[in-house]
């Protein structure tokens, strides 16, 4: 189905939990997140039911499972198994638990993963995640994803002024050696985040200063893709100026069952409540159509939390 601006809305991001085993400084408060009552979080069967109804409404092309950290949700493999027959099913993860799950996720039908890493320096990784995470752990996660055909692997880095803003060029070379594609994300000033923003243009200028001129080659979803003189591809995702909004094809389902038409918030639909109050499938499908028709053209980031809506 197309929205009011002619965009085909066929990509659903599903946050399966608000919990996480890390506390990234750009995402969650150090003290942790406000505890959402366990009963408010959708059960696995409820997530499955809602995703099927949204698929009936929109004929989804792609589903991305996210969180919080999706791999801390019990039953994650069976959830993947229920979604994979509907549309291409992918996952965004911090990678910590990936070596344990890669083989099962692949067998369940997951097609690929995006993994987050924000530095090549262990001290900075620990500073950003506020946990004892190392480069070796992330390299192991990438290795297990590739060994289990969850590829091409994309690696996401949120660029933070004075923290890792001197690292993109080195990370591009590292990613090339690992056989993965690096993507740099502008920091969005969301609730819970305590960092400084570096604009996409500034990230690119820093990369060119170290690696020489780069060429823009394509747009892949929300990422502008570039190639260096030595042939290494990388991406820049710059949501803050709203430049990606014109091509947005996404809806987001939170772990409590709220369907959001825009990362920046706006009017939403409480599908969890509709499901639990016994509304008919046809009513839920029609409400999804109404929400898509009202999807805003663009929004201003802020006021919502990444761990809740899944990035
Ligand atoms: N826990 C998983 C992970 O970190 O990959 C999935 C959830 S996380 C909320 C999804 C994506 O959002 C990650 O790539 C993360 O880097 C990104 N993210 C979180 N907070 C952000 C912020 N304030 N600005 C930009 N990206 C952010
Ligand atoms: Fe957890 Fe991902 Fe947020 Fe980091 S970005 S705190 S790993 S949900």
**HSE-up (13 A, CA, CB side) for residue 278:** 0
Question: What confidence score (pLDDT) does residue 286 get?
Answer: 98
Q: Is the pLDDT of residue 191 over 60?
A: yes
Give 28 Cα–ligand 1 centroid separation in angstroms: 10
The ligand 1 atom at the shortest distance from the C-alpha of residue 20 is 1
194 vs 239, more confident: 239
Name the pLDDT band for 193 (thresholds 50, 70, 90).
low
Question: What confidence score (pLDDT) does residue 20 get?
Answer: 94
Q: Give SS3 for 219.
A: strand
Among 27, 192, 305, residue to substitute to test ligand 2 (most atoms within 8 Å of Cβ): 27
Q: Where are the beta strands (DSSP E) in the chain?
A: 11-15, 62-66, 88-93, 112-116, 154-159, 181-186, 214-220, 223-228, 233-237, 250-253, 258-260, 269-270
CA distance 102 to 301: 33
Give 39 Cα–ligand 2 centroid separation in angstroms: 22
Name the pLDDT band for 298 (thresholds 50, 70, 90).
confident
Per-residue pLDDT tens digits for 100-120:
999 999 999 999 999 999 999
Contact predicate 24/128, CB 8 Å = yes
Question: What confidence score (pLDDT) does residue 262 get?
Answer: 87
Mean of pLDDT values over 4-19: 95
Number of residues written out for the chain: 311
Residue 136 contacts by C-beta under 8 Å, 6 or more apart in sequence? none
Residue 22 contacts by C-beta under 8 Å, 6 or more apart in sequence? 28, 69, 94, 96, 129, 130, 131, 133
Q: Is 305 in the pocket of ligand 2 (CB under 6 A)?
A: no
- Lowest-confidence region among 182-186, 225-229, 293-297, 305-309: 305-309
Q: Is 19 in the pocket of ligand 2 (CB under 6 A)?
A: no
Whose CA is closest to 182, among 98, 114, 273?
114
User: How many other CB atoms are found less than 10 A from the CB of residue 131?
Assistant: 14
Mean of pLDDT values over 205-212: 97
Q: Indicate the average pLDDT of the chain.
A: 93
For residue 153, give Cα distances in angstroms to 8, 18, 80, 102, 145.
26, 24, 18, 12, 7
Q: Is 195 in the pocket of ligand 2 (CB under 6 A)?
A: no
Per-residue pLDDT tens digits for 66-98:
999 999 999 999 999 999 999 999 999 999 999
Q: Is 164 in the pocket of ligand 1 (CB under 6 A)?
A: no
> Which DSSP symbol is given to 106?
H
Residue 191 contacts by C-beta under 8 Å, 6 or more apart in sequence? 302, 303, 304, 305
Per-residue pLDDT tens digits for 155-171:
999 999 999 999 999 99
What is the percent of the chain where pLDDT is above 90?
Answer: 81
Question: What confidence score (pLDDT) does residue 31 get?
Answer: 82
Mean of pLDDT values over 46-50: 98
Q: Is 69 in the pocket of ligand 2 (CB under 6 A)?
A: yes
Domains of the chain are 11-309 (3.20.20.70)
- Rg over alpha carbons for the chain, rounded to the nearest Å, is 19
Q: Is 203 in the pocket of ligand 1 (CB under 6 A)?
A: no
End-to-end CA distance of the chain: 23
109 vs 311, more confident: 109
Q: Where are the beta strands (DSSP E) in 77-173?
A: 88-93, 112-116, 154-159
Q: Is 20 in the pocket of ligand 2 (CB under 6 A)?
A: yes
Q: Is 20 in the pocket of ligand 1 (CB under 6 A)?
A: yes
What is the percent of the chain where pLDDT is above 70?
Answer: 94
Question: What confidence score (pLDDT) does residue 29 get?
Answer: 87
CA distance 42 to 143: 32
């Amino acid at each position: 189905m197309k929205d009011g601006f002619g965009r085909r809305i066929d990509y659903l991001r599903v946050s399966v939990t608000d919990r996480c085993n890390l506390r990234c400084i750009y995402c969650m408060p150090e003290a942790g997140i406000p505890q959402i009552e366990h009963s408010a979080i959708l059960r696995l069967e409820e997530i499955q039911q809602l995703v099927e109804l949204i698929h009936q409404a929109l004929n989804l092309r792609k589903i991305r499972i996210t969180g919080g950290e999706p791999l801390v949700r019990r039953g994650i493999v069976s959830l993947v198994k229920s979604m994979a027959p509907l549309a291409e099913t992918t996952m965004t993860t911090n990678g910590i638990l990936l070596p344990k799950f890669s083989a099962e996720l692949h067998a369940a039908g997951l097609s690929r993963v995006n993994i987050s890493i924000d530095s090549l320096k262990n001290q900075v990784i620990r500073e950003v995640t506020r946990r004892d995470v190392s480069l070796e752990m992330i390299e192991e996660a990438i290795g297990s994803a590739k060994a289990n055909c969850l590829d091409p692997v994309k690696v996401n880095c949120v660029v933070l002024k004075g923290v890792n803003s001197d690292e993109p060029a080195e990370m591009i070379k590292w990613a090339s050696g690992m056989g993965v594609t690096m993507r740099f994300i502008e920091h969005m000033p969301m609730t819970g985040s305590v960092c400084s923003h570096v604009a996409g243009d500034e990230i690119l200028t820093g990369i060119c200063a170290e690696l020489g001129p780069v060429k823009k080659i394509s747009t892949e979803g929300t990422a502008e893709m570039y190639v260096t003189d030595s042939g290494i591809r990388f991406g820049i995702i710059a949501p803050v100026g709203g430049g990606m909004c014109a091509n947005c094809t996404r809806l987001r389902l939170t772990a409590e069952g709220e369907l959001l038409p825009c990362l920046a918030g706006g009017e939403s639909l409480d599908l969890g409540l509709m499901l639990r109050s016994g509304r008919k499938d046809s009513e839920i499908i029609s409400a999804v159509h109404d929400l898509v028709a009202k999807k805003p053209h663009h929004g201003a980031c802020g006021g919502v939390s990444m761990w809740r809506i899944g990035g």
